[in-house]
Amino acid sequence: MLPLRDHLQTRSFPFVNYALIAANIAVFVLELPAYSDPAAAEALVRTWGLVPARLFADPTLGIETVFTSMFMHGGLAHIGGNMLYLWIFGNNVEDRLGRFRYLVFYLAGGLAAAGLELAFGPNSAVPNLGASGAIAAVLGSYLVLFPRAQVRTLLFGFIPTTFRAEIVLGLWFIMQLFDGVGGLGTHVNGGVAYWAHVGGFVFGVLATLALFRGGAGRKPASEGLGEPGFTVSRQ
């Protein structure tokens, strides 16, 4: 089930959401030259990606990667999927939270996502990179704020249809949780940081409920790049 767009209008221009999309794309463009050389690409993601084992061995070593890793991606499909979700769901969340609060919320969601991924894999030497932990927080917030919003999707990748947000995002979360639990005790997760997705989403739900205290459900005012040749865990 691939979301294409929703039908909600915003009351203000989503400046922060577009700025986050632009920042992610800009960082990816800066990464591109390294991806032409596998050794340079690996050095790049190991330097700026979040490596749990390194961080736990010395918290002062690479602490900045908790943030830098949020803006890095391992390929065109990786960043394309993440930015699609952010573009569809982020503007309405920013509209309800306000620009500054939305920026803080997004970054805090990324931290929460990284925290849960670190908790489940503290000894992993695989770099984590990607924006989807923070974007998962946005999805969780959208679910609380606009559960009945209509989301246009491609079912099975080719059948256009429309579902309520609570179905689209609820199924997305269940899949992340199922895959995360299924990977416990193994080293096989398909290169995806499922626990980062779970952590970000749960943070988004709880933080939004705390911010709006039960009033969040009110309606708005108007309704051929190759992959790097080494292992990374993608958010």
Q: Would you say residue 120 has pLDDT above 60?
A: yes
Lowest mean pLDDT among 17-21, 104-108, 151-155: 151-155
Q: Would you say residue 1 has pLDDT above 60?
A: yes
Q: What is the pLDDT of residue 163?
A: 95
Q: What is the pLDDT of residue 216?
A: 45
d(CA 159, CA 167): 16
Q: What is the CATH number of domain 2-234?
A: 1.20.1540.10
As to burial, measured by CB atoms within 10 angstroms (0-12 exposed, 13-18 middle, 19+ buried), residue 150 is middle
Q: What is the pLDDT of residue 187?
A: 44
pTM score, whole prediction: 0.87
Q: Would you say residue 173 has pLDDT above 90?
A: yes
Token pair 């503007």 in the structure block, residue: 91
Higher pLDDT, 196 or 156: 196
Q: Would you say residue 220 has pLDDT above 70?
A: no
As to burial, measured by CB atoms within 10 angstroms (0-12 exposed, 13-18 middle, 19+ buried), residue 203 is buried
Q: What is the pLDDT of residue 135?
A: 97
How sure is the predictor about 192, in pLDDT bands with cuts at 50, 70 and 90? confident
- Over residues 20-70, the pLDDT tens digits come to 999 999 999 999 999 889 999 999 999 999 999 999 988 888 899 999 999
Closest listed residue to residue 103, CA positions, set 130, 129, 67: 67
